[in-house]
Amino acid sequence: MKIPVTVIGGYLGAGKTTLINHMLRSANGLRLAILVNEFGDLAIDQDLIEAQNDGVMAISGGCVCCAYGNDMIGALEDMRDATPAFDHILIEASGVALPASIMTTVGMVYGLRPDATIVLADVEQIRKNARHKFLHDTILAQLEQADLLLLTKTDLVDASVVEDVKDWLSTVAPIARSLPIANGEIALEALIGAIPFAQRRPMENVTHKSVFDSIVITPDHNIDPQALGEAFANDPTITRAKGFVQTATGTALIHVVGSRYAFDLLDDHHSLGVVCIGIKGEFDPSNAEKHMRHAERTDA
């Protein structure tokens, strides 16, 4: 199976490093490879680092951080070929990089699957940055290219400010789904998606103490993966969905992030089931089940 790759973008100070530390701390058995431009600006919490040499930092729990410098493709290939295999690769984009360009490259590296583009926006700074004399168009392009927008540092401002910024984001980045977070803390599954029946990880961790709700749906019939993906992607209350369904021609891995979806037809067999994740209060599991029923293809 191809290794999923997530790009994490956003301008300096948006909270990328805090988020990366949080992900490493909550990886809980998942093997994550995190690619960064350079280590200098990445203040990985010291207690997480097990060893460091030659541009690769070993993190407790089987994760690594890797500095790619000017050879991102080479670093991606190294991570792809590592044994034991990584569950997920994350790329920290530089502050002015356009994440969609990085995703294009990822899509051309054999054995990798572009998963999600996540862009961080500091709730206090983002509108100012979007008016910056030199950066305005770059910042807006980054926001536009996001599947998920993480609105960071929301604990530092009034709720009304968060709502204002969310409203503004919905006009400049209509495709993206905005998720407010505080202290860089967000359930890992909302960022990288969760496979139900995880190999090394129990499911109940997904939503405990978080702002997310989730449901695992196991389809009884063959599914049209395109119809299902489209339905999930068009439902604004579903942040993430991922899992295996049976199609007329075999098993498919379907993955939905924000309003984008994709599916891969697989040669091998997997236990069927799809995890859907959404924000508590907005997310209605019965809607997700309804989408699944509509995508059933009993005739096939």
- Contact residues toward another protein (CB under 8 A) are 11-12, 37-41, 67-71, 73-74, 94-96, 98, 101-102, 104-105, 108-110, 132, 134-135, 137-138
By C-beta, is 10 or 196 nearer to another protein? 10
By C-beta, is 13 or 61 nearer to another protein? 13
Provide, rounded to whole angstroms, the least separation between the CB of residue 258 and another protein.
19
177 within 8 A of 259, measured Cβ to Cβ: yes
Rounded to an integer, what distance in angstroms lies between the CA atom of residue 167 and that of residue 185?
Answer: 22
Decide the pairing of beta strands 88-92 and 148-152.
unpaired
By C-beta, is 104 or 234 nearer to another protein? 104
By C-beta, is 134 or 281 nearer to another protein? 134
Provide, rounded to whole angstroms, the least separation between the CB of residue 82 and another protein.
17
Provide, rounded to whole angstroms, the least separation between the CB of residue 107 and another protein.
8
By C-beta, is 110 or 199 nearer to another protein? 110
